[in-house]
Structure 1
Amino acid sequence: MGYAAVRVLGLVVLAVWSAARGKSALTLLTARWDSLWYTRVAELGYGYQVRLPDGDVHSDLAFFPLLPWLERGLHAVTPLSYAHAGLVVSLVASLAAAAGIYAVAEHAYGRRVGVCAVLLWAVLPVAVVQSMAYSESLFTALAAWALYALLTGRWVSAGLLAALAGLTRPVGGAVVAAVWTAAVISFVRERSAARTDGARRTAHAPSGTAGASTHVPFPFILRRLLGVLIAPLGAAGYVLWVGRRTGGGPFGYLDVQAGWRNGFDGGYAFARFVADKFTSFPSALAGAGLIAGVVLLLWLYVSGVRRGQPVELLVYTGIVLALALCASSYFGSKPRLLLPAFPVLLPLAEALARLRTSRSALVTAALAIVSAVYGAFWLNGSGPP
């Protein structure tokens, strides 16, 4: 309920702000930038591209297929247009994401931290994207529930959700890595426990007898193996299909992304972008803000490590952060690319949970207002969200 209330506030402020500027809030949510590409894929399938004057080629193959598939399916069974179907999918997915974030945080740190984590995710400065016909909410929902499945030992569910996440965004590999890491840790712990238990039994066994070894039930091993094998199928399947379609082989998808000037350069392009901000005084403030934001993210991640955050979450979050910060993509879009990295909020959620209820409610309300205003201002701007 708290998450829904915050997002409703954001949508109301967006509607009022947009109306004052003579714009349609619904159009801003469903028919801008990425949402247009997803809608085109849902309606016409893949095969559309735009060649820019500078020679760059923007191909719709850069956009993973799960959101367009859901848009097409919902359009087929309802009177909704493809664009409006995408908005409904995103809104439902945002609620599922909030529930998944709560489940992960509650399992790891308790109910109060779970509630605070969801509210913090809802009041992020770019949280308005959670209510757009974009794929961030859908991906976050799948990732959160996959991580929860890992934390609770549901290997097949984790694998299936990871595969679906891999059909949603390129960063789906982060969920796959979390599944594989959890499987390796589980296997190592079993081997260690078996050796320890075997040694203990041998030490206490009567002379001339052997200590019985500890065996993990075969069904558990099979479920874990299935989860590991299923997890990469979504991302690998789409990337290989793109490679075959473009004739680029296994690296065809990277060629498609290069047409958008997207790639992984270790953060060099982003560092240059930030450095350029210091060429004049007004923009230097923005540069300082960007540096402060990156430092905060890294500090929160390190705090998670120090607080013993589950390894599955650390692996997932680390990859999401690395891909978002070290990619040579549109720099204005980096904040929304960080939305799926919700575990980085857990140290803040713990701090918020330690406050009295009245104080935490006041802090959350203030952040919700700031988020709503900033979201309306941002989405009414000219740059891509």
Structure 2
Amino acid sequence: MTDLETRAAPPRSAALRRAAPALLGYAAVRALGLLALALWSGARGKSAYTLLTARWDSLWYTRVAELGYGYEVRLPNGDVHSNLAFFPLLPWLERLLHAATPLSYAGAGFTVSLLASLAAAWGIFAVADLVHGRRAGVCAVLLWAVLPVGIVQSMAYSESLFTALAAWSLYAVLTGRWLTAGLLAALAGLTRPVGLAVVAAVWAAGIASFVRTRSDARPHGAHIEMHAPSPARRALAMLLAPLGAAAYVLWVGHHTGKGPLGYLDVQAGWRNGFDGGYAFARFVGDKFTSIPSALAGVGLIVGVGLVIWLYVVGVRQRQPLPLLVYTGVVTALALCASSYFGSKPRLLLPAFPLLLPLAVALARLRTARSALMVGGVAALSAVYGAFWLNGSGPP
């Protein structure tokens, strides 16, 4: 990570030109996905726009934007679904855009998601370009775009916004922009509970940098200190990083009257928590009761194995420490949550560093061959996304 910390980031205009192929490719893939969704939904008499903006979590976010917190649904089994489970940054942006434009709250959420997805794609390119070069950066963005659950990137959900903040915070850490990294980490913490992964990455990088600076300073004295990042900036970044998540969690605790752990009670009302993966393992095991469901169980095991393998490959390729910490926390929180098993692929969407080993491999191929592969997967992803959103359950 030392070499990356000292590498100067390019000027913004030059950086945009460098990222242009990745952003254009990303926009093309997402346009294909939206077209497939529109055609599929139209054939079934449904509105693609409604599926993207006014179902499942999107409704909860727009309700927070319009009416604020305090809404809850009590289910017949006694569960309480409270909108306090949803972090505030996305609805704040929806409310701001609604106030500044003629857009509805749902339209504002859709617009924020579209813009955030482009910012996320640019951030993913910036990180991958820094670590593995421009060609791998383009491939990483395209791979993120063609994920089977990539349609979520265009929904009025918080995944795109969170991924944008996380990617640029990681890039700021890798280029030594500590205050920017801390501020973006704080904003990520206001977006989703998994913002803890960004905080952990900033803290891991900061601690490693402090240790390395002290170690290097012993034989070289003041010479090292003159070129090392400012200790004050690193410390301030580490203080800033957890403020967003901490502020919201403490506010929820105060609002519910249940103290600092009040947010955990809110999540429990949704039957969501962290059990180390026990519930998910039981869910997979229960699939092996018949041949059709057993095939699904095998697919889940293969999928989890692929995720773990990609992480191990990233370790072997010596990805920078902040990326490994961030990816590890996102993956652990996604796989070890005790509920919403069908949403786990979506929860893994922000773990973009998992794609870097594949991006490196794809970048080694000839352009025509890699374009053909990406194009084929993009078509399949578009069809799957349309099928998925037209289903009965939330993504």
TM over 0.5: yes
- Identify the range of structure 1 (215-224 vs 275-284) with the bigger mean alpha-carbon deviation: 215-224
In structure 1, C-alpha distance between the alignment counterparts of 2:111 and 2:143, rounded to whole Å = 23
Quote the offset at 1:273 in angstroms.
Answer: 0.5
Of the three residues 237, 254, 258, the one matched with 2:268 is: 258
In structure 2, C-alpha distance between the alignment counterparts of 1:372 and 1:288, rounded to whole Å = 24
Q: Secondary structure at the match of 1:39?
A: helix
In structure 2, C-alpha distance between the alignment counterparts of 1:230 and 1:312, rounded to whole Å = 16
Matched, 1:377 2:395: no
Partner of 1:56: 79
Matched, 1:134 2:144: no
For residues 184-225 of structure 1, the C-alpha deviation after alignment (integer angstroms, 9 at most, x for no partner) is 111111111111224xxxxxxxxxxxxx67434798122111
In structure 1, C-alpha distance between the alignment counterparts of 2:149 and 2:229, rounded to whole Å = 44
In structure 2, relative to structure 1, the CA distance for the partners of 1:43 and 1:366 (3 Å cut) is same
Of the three residues 23, 47, 56, the one matched with 1:24 is: 47
For residues 35-55 of structure 1, the C-alpha deviation after alignment (integer angstroms, 9 at most, x for no partner) is 000000000000000000000
Partner of 1:206: none
In structure 1, C-alpha distance between the alignment counterparts of 2:352 and 2:216, rounded to whole Å = 32
In structure 2, C-alpha distance between the alignment counterparts of 1:39 and 1:214, rounded to whole Å = 51
Of the three residues 132, 154, 159, the one matched with 2:177 is: 154
In structure 2, C-alpha distance between the alignment counterparts of 1:374 and 1:239, rounded to whole Å = 36
Q: Secondary structure at the match of 2:225?
A: coil
Q: Secondary structure at the match of 2:34?
A: helix
The 5 Å alignment of 1:340-355 reads 340-355=350-365
Partner of 2:283: 273
In structure 2, relative to structure 1, the CA distance for the partners of 1:84 and 1:218 (3 Å cut) is same
In structure 2, C-alpha distance between the alignment counterparts of 1:73 and 1:125, rounded to whole Å = 31
For residues 340-380 of structure 1, the C-alpha deviation after alignment (integer angstroms, 9 at most, x for no partner) is 00000000000100110000000000010010000000000
Unaligned 5+ runs, structure 2: 1-23
In structure 2, C-alpha distance between the alignment counterparts of 1:224 and 1:265, rounded to whole Å = 33
Matched residue type, 2:328: G
Of the three residues 307, 321, 338, the one matched with 1:311 is: 321
In structure 2, C-alpha distance between the alignment counterparts of 1:98 and 1:236, rounded to whole Å = 27
TM-score (norm 1): 0.95
Matched, 1:239 2:249: yes
Partner of 2:294: 284
Aligned residue-pair number: 372
In structure 2, relative to structure 1, the CA distance for the partners of 1:48 and 1:363 (3 Å cut) is same
Of the three residues 308, 312, 315, the one matched with 1:302 is: 312
TM-score (norm 2): 0.93
Matched residue type, 1:107: L
Of the three residues 325, 332, 337, the one matched with 2:335 is: 325
Matched residue type, 1:51: R
Quote the offset at 1:4 in angstroms.
Answer: 0.1
The answer to whether the Cα contact below 8 Å between 2:213 and 2:228 also exists between their aligned partners in 1 is no
Identity of aligned residues (%): 78
For residues 101-152 of structure 1, the C-alpha deviation after alignment (integer angstroms, 9 at most, x for no partner) is 0000000000000000000000000000000000000000000000000000
The answer to whether the Cα contact below 8 Å between 1:190 and 1:216 also exists between their aligned partners in 2 is no
Matched, 1:84 2:95: no
Partner of 1:209: none
Matched residue type, 1:29: L
Q: Secondary structure at the match of 1:176?
A: helix
Aligned Cα root-mean-square deviation (Å): 1.1
For residues 266-299 of structure 1, the C-alpha deviation after alignment (integer angstroms, 9 at most, x for no partner) is 0000000000111011011110000000000000
Of the three residues 150, 163, 178, the one matched with 2:186 is: 163
- Return the index of the structure with the highest Cα Rg: 1
Of the three residues 58, 61, 72, the one matched with 1:35 is: 58
Q: Secondary structure at the match of 2:339?
A: coil
In structure 2, relative to structure 1, the CA distance for the partners of 1:357 and 1:59 (3 Å cut) is same
In structure 2, C-alpha distance between the alignment counterparts of 1:138 and 1:60, rounded to whole Å = 19
In structure 2, C-alpha distance between the alignment counterparts of 1:25 and 1:215, rounded to whole Å = 57
Matched, 1:72 2:95: yes
Q: Secondary structure at the match of 1:279?
A: coil
In structure 1, C-alpha distance between the alignment counterparts of 2:301 and 2:219, rounded to whole Å = 48
The answer to whether the Cα contact below 8 Å between 2:162 and 2:192 also exists between their aligned partners in 1 is yes
The answer to whether the Cα contact below 8 Å between 1:162 and 1:232 also exists between their aligned partners in 2 is yes
The answer to whether the Cα contact below 8 Å between 1:9 and 1:372 also exists between their aligned partners in 2 is yes
Q: Secondary structure at the match of 2:230?
A: helix
Matched, 1:5 2:15: no
In structure 2, C-alpha distance between the alignment counterparts of 1:371 and 1:58, rounded to whole Å = 32
Matched residue type, 1:114: G
Matched residue type, 1:104: V
In structure 2, C-alpha distance between the alignment counterparts of 1:43 and 1:16, rounded to whole Å = 31
